Amino acid sequence: MRRRVGIAEESAQAGILSADELRRMDGYWRACNYLCAGMLYLQKNPLLRKPLKAEHIKNRLLGHWGSDPGQSFTWVHLNRLIRKYDLDVIFLSGPGHGAPATLSNCYLEGVYSEVYPDKSEDEDGMQKFFKQFSFPGGIGSHCTPETPGSIHEGGELGYSLSHGFGAAFDNPDLIVTVMVGDGEAETGPLATSWHANKFLNAARDGAVLPVLHLNGYKIANPTVLARITPEELDLLFRGYGWTPYVVEGDEPEAMHKKMAETMERCVLEIREIQAKARKKDASKVERPRWPMIVLRTPKGWTGPKEVDGHKVEGFWRAHQIPILDPKTNPKHLKQLEQWMKSYKPEELFDARGRLVEELREMAPKGTRRITANPHANGGLLRRPLEMPDFRDYAVEVKEPGQVEVSSTFVLGGFLRDVMRKNMTSFRVFGPDETASNRLQTIYEASEKTWLAQIRPEDADGSEIAPDGRVMEMLSEHTLEGWLEGYLLTGRHGFLSSYEAFVHIIDSMFNQHAKWLEKSKLELRWRSPISSLNLLITSLVWRQDHNGFTHQDPGFLDVVTNKSPEVTRIYLPPDANCLLSVANHCLQSLNYVNVIVADKAPHLQYLDMDAAVKHCTKGIGIWDFASNDAGDEPDVVMACAGDIPTAEALAATAILREHCPDLKIRFVNVVDLFRMMPESEHPHGLSEREFDSLFTLDRPVIFNFHAYPSLIHKFTYRRKNHGNIHVRGYKEMGNINTPLELAIVNQIDRFNLAIDVIDRVPKLQATAAHLKEWLKDQIIESVNYAHEHGIDKMEITEWKWPL
């Protein structure tokens, strides 16, 4: 075994490359760069063993070259340190369209051929490997789920660093190297995620080693961080709390020596930080200054210097395809051949087309290969949560609609004990609003993670500590990135957000849902990961002081546009239903589960047994509110969402009191996708089931939490769609009382009762006096709110009549 030496001794030896090691590292890097260029251009003649001809070139040249050499350069130096120190490392590629670097290394490590045997390590396999890139029926130019070793696609810029920290939390032996593109560094999410170093506990977490790749240009413009002075750049990152080390240049031999010394120094600093922290209790750990690398290289390094007199290497023209038309321009074809041959492929690959043995030895072995690391296929490491019995947290419901509690407060007790049972594999995330969302009971299991300065007064209610497990930061982007990285590396989590501002992560949700869909449906080698569980609270209907800006339930529309294979939406009407739904979601795999539940106190309707049955079905008739048993209903009163349910029940009570002969069927929806046809969603109702609940020809008044058009989108093919009348949010609101806001959007009890009167023929004449009374109630309620600032007592203290 290799003798373990002290960190000081290791530091003295750091970065010393023998001439032979330098030669082989450069050879491995040249092989990476050759493969990157081959992916961009070649569909035949992969090793250029024949003169390059037009028919060897792809008909469409799609992909990006500019960041690939710098990424592969970093990778080669990681390989050296993995072998030297037996490190556990994954690599996240942040630069947009930066997949060729990851793919080339995956292929040279042998992992790609293991996962995809037809892409074998020979000339024929290399030809297929090249052709598939950015080619119909092949793979994209990002680090898509098809890419072994990837947990970060990079299709949308800004999330690499937050994903990296999510991967490092509770992974004490893992080093996550994140290649941050300097274009990506201009995004808001990336700029904020530098602050994640205030949330990483060296005693129990792994490390994140950012490598900021300053190659100077985006697609057609210089990058901001590459054009400020070195002094400003250094101050910027020191201000973020990092210790930046700069590796700068373009001459390969000198750069290899600088990078070897610098990267090894960073790794040894990480080991030293962790060694010191792990001698202490995790609650006593102070925030260190973690190292980072600023790698300044030319854009498109080692590529063509110029094309037709225009600067390419070191300029934005190297960003995508450096030589644009080699298939139709003989001069450019020749230049492409000269460029690719400059890597000397005949020295790099043997007669079969396999990387020569002395270079193969440069890669780590087994699961120490970066693209074979099991953390990048997190389902391999995932272990089920140890769950408390959710029934133990049940709200006692003796009669429906008599007791008020905060459903999310009840949920907080359940989540607290989930955390207690899973203290190294479960975290809760929220943007400074865990307590605001009534989940504060979680703090009994763990405080909030905080490694920045702590003042004495923080002991009075701040619940912050270095070893906390509740992750709070006022950046939904960073939280979502942390959670995704945590899940993708095999752990479990739960995120809550204010409804109006969950839109901040619309596109992040989109990216994650697409990743799950591709992984679940097409990539059997990717093991299932824990679902992303998202609680939406502080809802549109309870924005008494925040007003119009905080009223937007449209995230549900975004979710319904994604694949039905990976999306689920639940609107539990009370606390026991919320517990049942949360228990199910926390144990599920490969979904995005969206749960909508308000944080304010609300009436409770179902005991736990009834709640479990109701949530299992996802939709059902509430007998206590219906009076049509054995008869055909005159009207179906349907609802989805806790507040719309309460108003629909109140409307039903009014109608049953004043129109005793009216037959009402009350239907509540928990699982929103039950409204879709079974041919469109796995949870969809069959035609017979739908028609049985909603009839073939009777009016349906549907009171919905979000925008009404969503229910019409789901039901437009149903037989009775013409009779379905949906009430929901209509972009009407201000500083309203709860009832006033419901009234202006017409989801209130009075308007719903009027809707029934207008649509049941026998009531249109007989209930005229009731309709006038309902109109009067609307006017009185609005006037009362404007005079007193609250709703009338008979509204706020309303209970379901026994």
Token output for 755: 């809707």
Query: Could you tell me if residue 81 is left (phi over 0), alpha (psi between -120 and 50 degrees) or otherwise beta?
Result: alpha
Residues 92 and 179: beta-carbon distance below 8 Å: yes
Are both 7-374 and 390-602 of the same fold?
yes
pLDDT tens-digit series, residues 646-685: 999 999 999 999 999 999 999 999 999 999 999 999 999 9
Least Cα distance to 42 among 22, 25, 24, 63 occurs for 63
Confidence check: pLDDT of 8 > 60: no
Q: What is the pLDDT of residue 96?
A: 78
- What's the pTM value of the predicted model, to 2 decimals? 0.96
The domain 620-796 is placed in CATH, from the list 3.40.50.920, 1.10.1040.10, 3.30.470.20, 3.20.10.10, at 3.40.50.920
Q: Report the percent of the chain where pLDDT is more than 90.
A: 93
Residues 628 and 433: beta-carbon distance below 8 Å: no
Give the CA count within 13 Å in the CB-facing half-sphere of 510. 12
Residues 163 and 488: beta-carbon distance below 8 Å: yes
Token output for 630: 């054995």
Alpha-carbon span 245 to 260, nearest angstrom: 12
Give the CA count within 13 Å in the CB-facing half-sphere of 246. 15
Confidence check: pLDDT of 4 > 50: no
Give the CA count within 13 Å in the CB-facing half-sphere of 762. 9
Alpha-carbon span 439 to 437, nearest angstrom: 6
Residues 571 and 641: beta-carbon distance below 8 Å: yes
Residue 563 exposed, middle or buried by CB count within 10 Å (0-12, 13-18, 19+): middle
Confidence of residue 543 (pLDDT cuts 50, 70, 90): confident
Residues 120 and 352: beta-carbon distance below 8 Å: no
Architecture (CATH level 2) of domain 390-602: 3-Layer(aba) Sandwich (3.40)
- Kindly give the pairing relationship between strand 619-621 and strand 592-596: unpaired
How distant, in Å, are the alpha carbons of 156, 174, 488, 518, 530 from that of 527? 24, 20, 10, 12, 10
Alpha-carbon span 164 to 211, nearest angstrom: 12
What 8-state DSSP symbol labels residue 561?
T
pLDDT tens-digit series, residues 140-193: 999 999 999 999 988 789 999 999 999 999 999 999 999 999 999 999 999 999
**Domain range list for the chain:** 7-374, 390-602, 620-796
Alpha helices for 535-607 (secondary structure H): 555-560, 575-586
Selected residue with higher pLDDT from 434 and 15: 434
Alpha-carbon span 64 to 154, nearest angstrom: 13
pLDDT tens-digit series, residues 610-625: 999 999 999 999 999 9
Alpha-carbon span 736 to 725, nearest angstrom: 25
Residues 176 and 185: beta-carbon distance below 8 Å: no
Q: Position 352: which residue type?
A: R
Token output for 678: 């079974």
pLDDT tens-digit series, residues 74-115: 999 999 999 999 999 999 999 978 899 999 999 999 999 999
Alpha-carbon span 682 to 680, nearest angstrom: 7
Average pLDDT, the chain: 95
Confidence of residue 3 (pLDDT cuts 50, 70, 90): very low
Give the CA count within 13 Å in the CB-facing half-sphere of 356. 16
Q: What is the pLDDT of residue 1?
A: 29
Alpha-carbon span 277 to 264, nearest angstrom: 20
DSSP sequence for 382-425? --------GGGGPPP-SSTT--EEEHHHHHHHHHHHHHHH-TTT
- Kindly give the pairing relationship between strand 243-248 and strand 207-214: unpaired
DSSP sequence for 483-549? HHHHHHTT-EEEEEEEGGGGGGGHHHHHHHHHHHHHHHHH-TTSPP-B-EEEEEES-GGG-TTT-GG
Token output for 644: 């719309």
Alpha-carbon span 513 to 564, nearest angstrom: 10
Confidence of residue 2 (pLDDT cuts 50, 70, 90): very low
Confidence check: pLDDT of 7 > 60: no
CATH 3.40.50.1100 fits 7-374, yes or no: no
Least Cα distance to 448 among 462, 436, 433 occurs for 462
pLDDT tens-digit series, residues 688-725: 999 999 999 999 999 999 999 999 999 999 999 999 99
Residues 423-441, mean pLDDT to the nearest whole number: 94
Residues 106 and 149: beta-carbon distance below 8 Å: yes
Q: What is the pLDDT of residue 16?
A: 85
Alpha-carbon span 635 to 476, nearest angstrom: 42
CB atoms within 10 A of CB 113: 19
pLDDT tens-digit series, residues 595-613: 999 999 999 999 999 999 9
Residue 350 exposed, middle or buried by CB count within 10 Å (0-12, 13-18, 19+): middle
Alpha helices for 587-636 (secondary structure H): 608-617
Alpha-carbon span 311 to 653, nearest angstrom: 77
Query: Could you tell me if residue 344 is left (phi over 0), alpha (psi between -120 and 50 degrees) or otherwise beta?
Result: left
Computed on alpha carbons and rounded to an integer, the radius of gyration of the chain in Å comes to 30
Confidence check: pLDDT of 5 > 60: no
pLDDT tens-digit series, residues 272-320: 999 999 998 888 999 999 999 999 999 999 999 999 999 999 999 999 9
Using DSSP, state whether 175 is helix, strand or coil: strand
Alpha-carbon span 507 to 801, nearest angstrom: 45
